[in-house]
Copies of this chain bind each other. A is one copy, B any other.
């Protein structure tokens, strides 16, 4: 049987640009995994690993024009956005190199032997070791930062895990280019090229998660695709952790006082957040609770004006365009749903942004309107008009898990203490904490900062685990602890020796 070719497609025209290799067969996936597995020993050297991550960042920056050009041709995301995304990507690689150097991620704990305890305590020294080959599933909407050279790959390599990436069909040429750059960086740092490999094809993705030598997976994508892979990971003879980011509504609550104070500003800001990247962000605000009444009307009008002035955009592929148009139509057809600015087809290859409105009462009980509580990928959001706090609360209690939850509050509400509405605002913060991995006040959820304290995850379906895919702690996903009991100093890993020759941070008990 002939190999299935993989095509790079221009979403602006729907036309094939070039063939990028072919879909990997089961045998090719096996070869890639085995080759990656064989590099574990080489990757064990932390100094080399850090140098590799920095070399990768340098090579990607050096090829910026080529990389962003390839990505734009396949995704239509535009040069400014892709230049920013490349900076985020190489910044991430360097941040993980720093984390490897620092070594706090090893979470070293040492308990000295203590014969005075009952029972006596033996010497215990614990740190974390890499799991082994990690499978990474690239995202459609971030051809760089959540794809071949993205956060999953960077954090897994930082942990000491070889990586096999399943490329996303929306940007195979970018994936191949970035894969080649990463492999070149590995060799430049003295590592085998096979520490990272790229495979294409849907079936290859399933083969990968089922491969006995694959020890964990990272995924960013849809609920359907992610859940299928999660299920495959859990059904293995030896189950593996599957860290998937699947879908999120990213609810926003605008309080009556905030609407009274800043209706136009909030409406305009919302339009910007909803249309950023043509609405193709996993943290796009997809459901906005806006008070009924005049202030909420002003917000709605400001949103309508801003969205009406936003031109059409190109989605990542035609399947997504079809799904967006159909998804909006289905939602707009529900009783009581209005579309002040109707989102839908623009030109032959574009879509126009818009929004829907619905009274909260339609959503506070089970029924067909629950469709509005499912993510609709693309430049659309749903404004839910609520009559009172009780209605808003009832709706929040019905939401699934989210990556983010955002509150727009008035000045007084943010002041705390005895200020008007402050108690209610504090209660809102607590309520949405139960719903999300990140809580934003008076801002927008789009723009997930790469920072040590970041958390990008949340209750299912936002994520399939309680880990983060962005930020300093993302590395924790690819490690497991090991404790050494009464192991003579000379036989311990250097990281755990009493003299601390590598100068690593550690927590020590007793002794």
Contact = CB atoms under 8 A, between A and B. Distances in A.
A480 to B, nearest CB: 4
A293 interface: no
Contacts of A11: none
A141 to B, nearest CB: 18
Report copies per complex. 2
A485 interface: yes
A359 B425 CA distance: 71
Q: Which of A422, A483, A486, A490 has the most CB of B within 10 A?
A: A483
Nearest to A456: B483
A461 B457 CA distance: 27
Contact of A416 (B415, B453, B491): B491
A442 interface: yes
B483 A126 contact: no
Interface in A212-264: 230-231, 234-235, 238-239, 241
A459 B307 CA distance: 52
B453 A109 contact: yes
B429 A491 contact: yes
A200 interface: no
Contact of A483 (B425, B430, B454, B459): B454
B452 A507 contact: yes
Interface in A454-473: 454-455, 457, 459-461, 464-466, 468, 471-473
A341 to B, nearest CB: 28
A488 interface: yes
A44 to B, nearest CB: 9
Interface in A435-465: 436-443, 447, 449, 451-455, 457, 459-461, 464-465
Interface stretch (A115-123, A178-186, A364-372): A115-123
Contact of A485 (B124, B131, B439, B468): B439
Contacts of A464: 239
A490 B238 contact: no
A338 interface: no
Interface residues of A, number: 78
Interface string A126-167: 100101000000000000000000000000000000000000
Q: Which of A107, A429, A451 has the most CB of B within 10 A?
A: A451
A416 B121 contact: no
Nearest to A114: B451
27 contacts: A109-B452, A109-B472, A111-B449, A111-B454, A122-B443, A124-B449, A126-B453, A126-B455, A231-B235, A234-B234, A234-B235, A239-B464, A414-B488, A415-B490, A425-B491, A426-B491, A437-B481, A437-B482, A438-B484, A439-B484, A441-B486, A441-B491, A443-B485, A451-B509, A468-B481, A471-B483, A473-B481
Interface of A: 84, 87, 107, 109-111, 118-119, 121-122, 124-126, 129, 131, 230-231, 234-235, 238-239, 241, 400-401, 409, 414-417, 422, 425-426, 429-430, 433, 436-443, 447, 449, 451-455, 457, 459-461, 464-466, 468, 471-473, 479-493, 507, 509
